[in-house]
Amino acid sequence: MRTALITGASSGIGRKVALHLAKCGFQVTACARRENLLSALAEELGPQHMVRALDVTKRGAVRTVVSEIIDKHGGLDLLFNNAGINVQGTCGIEGEAFDSVIGTNLTGAWNVLNEVVPHMKLREQGTIINVSSICGKTAFPDVGIYSASKFGLLAINESLFRELVPLGIRVTALCPSWVNTDMAVHGPMSDDKKIQTNDICTSIDYLLSLSPNAHVKELVLECGSDLI
C-alpha cells in the first residue's frame, strides 16, 4: 500500500488532500499543530490512518513522526509538504511575526524534507510536493514576508528537483493563487471565483498519473480573475 505524509492537515488544503489520498488508497499520516481540529479529521479518516500533532518548526518532533512512518510502513511514497501560515506586511511588523512565518513556511518545510529525502533516496522512489504559492513567483504589496518564505521554498524545491529526479524521485512545487480556504477568506474575490480545494486534489492526481519520464518542477494555478 502506498503511504503519504501530509503536513498542515487540520484545515483547508491539507485537510482536503488527506481525505482525498485516503480515498485513493494511500495509508495516510496527517499532521498539524491544532489538535482540536485533528480530532475531527481522525474520525473522518478512520483508525487505519495515523493523525499526529506536529509543529514542523520542532526538528526532533518531525524526526519522530517520520521515523514512526518508516518503522510502521517501511517507507514513504508521497510527501505533501503543506504546513504554512501568513501575516500581512513587509516592514513595520513585529519581529516575532517574521520569525513565525519564516520558521513555519521555510525552515519548517525544510525540517520535513531533511527527514524524508534520505529515506526516499535509499529506495530511489517517491513523490514530493512542496506547497508554495503564486506569492513565491511574484512578490505582491503587503505580503513581503510571506513571499520571502515561499520564494525560499521554491529555491529549495528547484535544487531538490535537480538532485532527486535523476534518482527517480518526483519533486514539484505547487504554486496556487487564491484558494477557497479560511486562509484566503479576505481575498479580493468571491469564493466561487477562487481555486477550489478539489482543484488541488486533481493536480495531485495529474502529477501521480504521469509516466516515469515526465517531471513537473513547478505547477502554477491562477484564478481566472487574476488575469483580467
Active site residues: 146
Q: Are 130 and 216 in contact (CB under 8 A)?
A: no
Contact between residue 219 and residue 175 where contact means Cβ atoms under 8 Å apart: yes
The span from the CA of 116 to the CA of 7, in Å, is 12
Of 170, 220, 224, residue with least CA distance to 200: 220
Q: How far apart (Å, rounded) are the C-alpha atoms in residues 199 and 145?
A: 26
Count of beta carbons in the 10 Å neighbourhood of residue 113: 21
Question: Which residue matches cell numbers 481566472?
Answer: 224
C-alpha to C-alpha distances, 3 to 69, 102, 137, 209, nearest whole angstrom: 8, 28, 30, 16
In degrees, rounded to 5, the angle at the alpha carbon of residue 135 between the alpha carbons of residues 107 and 198 is 95
